[in-house]
Amino acid sequence: MAEGKKAKLGGACDAVIIGAGNGGLAAALALAVRGAKPLVLEQHNAPGGFATSFVRGRFEFEAALHELSSIGPENNKGGVRRFLEDEGGVDIDWVPIPEAYRVILTDSGMDARLPFGEAPFIDAIEEKVPGSREPLTRYFALCREVSGALGLLAKTASNPSPKRIMKDLKKFVAESADPFDDARRNASNVVTFLRTLPKTVDEVTLKMGIPPKAVDLLYPYWCYLGIPMSRMNFTIWAAMLIDYIDYGAWIPRLRSQEMSYAIEARVRELGGRVEYNTRVDRVLVERGRVKGVVTASGETIKTSAVIANTSPTQLYGSLVSPASEAPAAALRNVNSRKLGGAGFVVYLGLDASPVELGVNDYGYFISKTMNTDAVYGSMEKLDLVDMQATICLNNAIPDCSPPGTTIISMTTLYKPGVWDAVKPKEYAALKNRLADAMISQFDDALGTDIRSRVEEIEVATPATFARYARSFNGGIYGYELDPWDSIIPRILSEKDESYIKGLEVAGGFATMGHGFSSSLISGRSAGLKTLAGLGG
């Protein structure tokens, strides 16, 4: 490598961040706004990781984002928006999603549009399934108690343990006058929070007396977590549901790439550095402490603090060097966890407007059934998965494509490793067949004919995501959030899982789980922990 490049990378920095995805950028921002000097090393030539866009013909496609939670309007900001704007000083043009979702279940003929806001949401379900209002009202009250207690825990339990959680929550209820809005009121029932903590969504929901058809309308957000309701932790579900219902869903006007570039620009403005086309191949560790990183070009950068925006499976399995410094406990931990879903996306640029096409909603959940175990099971085969989550970007941002055109993207998931069986000579034909089947699935459900109006089409498979972002097995969903490995158990285990001094993990595989908003919050947390380790 040229001497100039060595000097550029080898300058003074407080922490090295591996990867400029959501988690890495958020970690850099959290450090930079507090006066630290992070150095972000990104293998690609642009920031964002999955938070990016690409151009085909006259269309700019959003690569991965459907919608963000925890944003909210200017007068009622969610946690992610407060972090980015108020704390980080990042300017993003946020656009609200017009409705929660439209769900179409082809086996039963159910077709319903669900709005944001608790009362309108319940009203819409009651209209479709009379007799739902009373049990749904109780259900939302329960979800609010759990969600409020979870939010309060994040603010109070700095050294988490079950005993500490109970103590902090009770103390807050008894003494606090701090106006945390719903959190202060909802946290009064800490018993409810602890009682539901080990439960799955099905274990709680199916005992509430909600009519089965109403449960079908309530459950579509499950695919944003990618694990069936018989295994999904109720605490996480309750928090996600309330967040969406209360704050709505939002996207950056200029695709998620706008957000990535805005955060990156702010990090640079504050004195941080971001270097592209620079892959980290090794994290140097000596006697349980971080000593530096080695890039793919062979340059060594000395540092005592590293934040890895990657999976712990990759981190401890191949990055930590020498391999003997990867603790056996860390390897057992990552091997015990289940990798989340791998992505398959069909991007369509259509030569007709949404009105002409009859595509009138932003977000669609289309499936044969809302039997989440059955849908999850269909992810095991190299065939059409039973459910697709589809967005029409123009119905949130009308001018996102040229006049008289439409951008649609269709997403489904496969279990990690399923695509490993595909032979190279079969790859193109298979992905095209599955893309064609997803288009038919959409047209059949809506009675539309988008197939005949396709001007541009691109298909991303797990192999695409693995190649583009080096995501393990093409995974886009982190580790699965089983009750034993959901956010609260991870919080309680954080201290025990700090295996190497000076090394933190950010992004979708970290404590807060996968998803854009969770990755941003996890990055902030990793940045603050690193700062504390630096004595900041």
Cα–Cα distance for residue pair 417/453, rounded to 1 Å: 34
What's the rounded mean pLDDT across residues 466-482? 87
- Model confidence band, residue 181 (pLDDT cutoffs 50, 70, 90): very low
The pTM of the full predicted model, rounded to 2 decimals, is: 0.91
pLDDT of residue 152: 60
* CB < 8 Å & 24+ apart, contacts of 493-496: 494/160, 495/159
* Mean pLDDT lowest among 98-112, 150-164, 424-438: 150-164
SS3 10: coil
Q: Can you tell me the mean pLDDT for 201-229?
A: 96
Task: Please name which of 454, 448, 445, 255 lies closest in space to residue 355, comparing C-alpha atoms.
Answer: 448
pLDDT-derived band at 495 (thresholds 50, 70, 90) equals: confident
Cis check: omega of the bond before 179, within 30 degrees of 0? no
pLDDT for 183 beyond 60: no
Residues 299-304, mean pLDDT to the nearest whole number: 96
- Band (pLDDT 50/70/90 cuts) for residue 5 is very low
Instruction: Give the rounded percent of residues in the chain with a pLDDT score beyond 70.
Output: 90
- Predicted pLDDT of residue 483: 85
536, pLDDT greater than 70: no
Among 443, 442, 440, which residue's Cα sits nearest to residue 432?
440
Instruction: Sketch the domain layout of the chain as residue ranges.
Output: 3-58+255-337+481-533, 116-248, 342-472
Confidence of residue 146 (pLDDT cuts 50, 70, 90): confident
CA distances from 164 to 88, 185, 385, 512, 529 (A): 30, 19, 43, 20, 20
Q: Above 90 in pLDDT, residue 3?
A: no
The pLDDT assigned to 97 comes to 98
pLDDT of residue 383: 96
CA gap 474, 469 in Å, rounded = 8
Is 191's pLDDT higher than 90?
Answer: no
Which CATH architecture group holds 342-472?
Answer: Alpha-Beta Complex (3.90)
| SS3 at position 427 | helix
Q: Percent of the chain having pLDDT more than 90?
A: 80
Closest to 153 (Cα-Cα) out of 176, 177, 172: 172
pLDDT of 188 above 90: no
Please answer whether residues 308 and 315 qualify as being in contact, where contact means their C-beta atoms are separated by less than 8 angstroms: yes
pLDDT greater than 70 at residue 364: yes
Per-residue confidence (pLDDT) for residue 281, from 0 to 100? 97
Reduce the DSSP state of residue 186 to 3 states and report it: helix
The CA distance from 421 to 382, in Å, is 9
C-alpha distance from residue 477 to each of 302, 376, 482 (Å) = 32, 14, 13
Q: What is the mean pLDDT of residues 449-477?
A: 92
pLDDT value at residue 497: 85
The stretch 360-385 carries a mean pLDDT of 97
pLDDT at 177: 46
Residue 163 — pLDDT band, cuts 50, 70, 90? low
The structure tokens listed for 448 are 């539309």
| Mean of pLDDT over the chain | 90
pLDDT confidence of 535, banded at 50, 70, 90? confident
271-295: per-residue pLDDT in tens? 999 999 999 999 999 999 999 999 9
Q: What is the pLDDT of residue 182?
A: 45
Among 36-45, 187-196, 248-257, the minimum mean pLDDT is found in 187-196
- What would be the CATH architecture of the domain defined by 3-58+255-337+481-533? 3-Layer(bba) Sandwich (3.50)
CA distances from 106 to 54, 131, 257 (A): 32, 23, 35
Q: What is the pLDDT of residue 173?
A: 47
HSE, side-chain direction, 13 A CA sphere, residue 139: 28
Task: Give 507-526 as a DSSP string.
Answer: STTSTT-SSHHHHHHHHHHH
Segments in 129-254 forming alpha helices (H): 133-156, 162-175, 182-186, 190-196, 201-205, 212-218, 234-247
Q: What is the pLDDT of residues 382-409, one digit of tens each?
A: 999 999 999 999 999 999 999 999 999 9
Q: List the alpha helices (DSSP H) in 206-294.
A: 212-218, 234-247, 255-269
Residue 283 to residue 291: CA distance in whole angstroms: 8
